[in-house]
Amino acid sequence: MLAYLKQVYEAWINYPRREGEVIRGQYQIERFLGMGSYGLTYLCLDKHSGQEVVAKQAKPSKGQLGRDLLRREATIMNQLEHPSIPKCYTSFEESKRLYMITEYIQGRTVEDLIFERGARFEEKDALQFIRQLLNIVQFIHEHDVVHLDIRIPNVIVHGNHMSLIDFGLAARLGEPARITIDADDELIRRRTVHVTSDLYAIGHFLLYMLYSTYESSHDQEEVIRGWEEELSISTQTKQMIRKLLQIDPPYANVQACLEELDTVLV
């Protein structure tokens, strides 16, 4: 009963703001984009600049933790000035709610491209794509930050341009755990702040892209096989994925991975 009441209360306090409402007299809500684990995200019109921007609000039910994470996200994004990372414009409180305003990235996520648009990435295309992504991640690591949430819904593609979004879980390398975490937030505690975490995620990212061309044969009885058997890809690419996924000794850093990738791409 208590758990049910908690659920009802959280749904009520997390209820998104309506379209048309204006945040701090400047950001008019055009569309609710979604509710993540720690935040509510809106597409807004900045009435001062006439530009579309993204407003992320700390999720009220997460209390201080949600606010701390959003503040940390804004601090980290402010340190990462790169054409493939959304700019953080400002953050502020309004009526005890914390908001962060960032650049709106046009385009489609890789998840949408594969699962909604039916995009297919051949081996070479997938590797070239991963090369671009590695360049962004290398920049982030050079700034002593680890993203920790590199997944196909967090990469947006617009023409030939790619952007990495959602720095909500990003952390500084070697950062001591400063945030008190309750039972619901176990996930964060288990993540290790090390560059290999991002490389591991890129291994999975690459597998998603490569599986976009995979067709299982329905004639035979369904047999569960691993990716190494199922995917028709070169031995070199398989070796790279094994290192990314830490099946074999992992790359020490992004540079080592890029160097090997370049030998595969020639």
Ligand X SMILES: Nc1ncnc2c1ncn2[C@@H]1O[C@H](COP(=O)(O)OP(=O)(O)OP(=O)(O)O)[C@@H](O)[C@H]1O
Residues in binding site for ATP: 56
- Note the residues at the interface with ligand X (CB under 6 A): 33-34, 36-37, 39, 41, 54, 86, 102-105, 109, 153, 165-166, 168
CA atoms of 131 and 68, how far apart (whole Å): 33
- Alpha carbons within 13 angstroms on the beta-carbon side of residue 118 total 1
Q: Which amino acid is at 61?
A: S
Q: Closest approach of Cβ 136 to ligand X, in Å? A: 14
64-85: buried (b, 16+ CB within 10 Å) or exposed (e) per residue? ebbbbbbebbbebbeebeeebb
Q: Residue 44 or 54: which CB sits closer to ligand X?
A: 54
Q: Annotated binding residues, as ranges?
A: 56
With respect to ligand X, which residue has the nearer C-beta, 152 or 264? Answer: 152
Specify the residue, 54 or 133, whose C-beta has the smaller distance to ligand X. 54
Q: How far is the CB of 201 from ligand X (least distance, A)?
A: 13
Strands 88-94 and 108-109: what pairing? unpaired
The residue with its CB nearest to ligand X is 36
SS (H, E, C) 217-230: CCCCCCCCCCHHHH
State in angstroms the smallest separation of the CB of 17 from ligand X: 14
CB closer to ligand X, 14 vs 37: 37
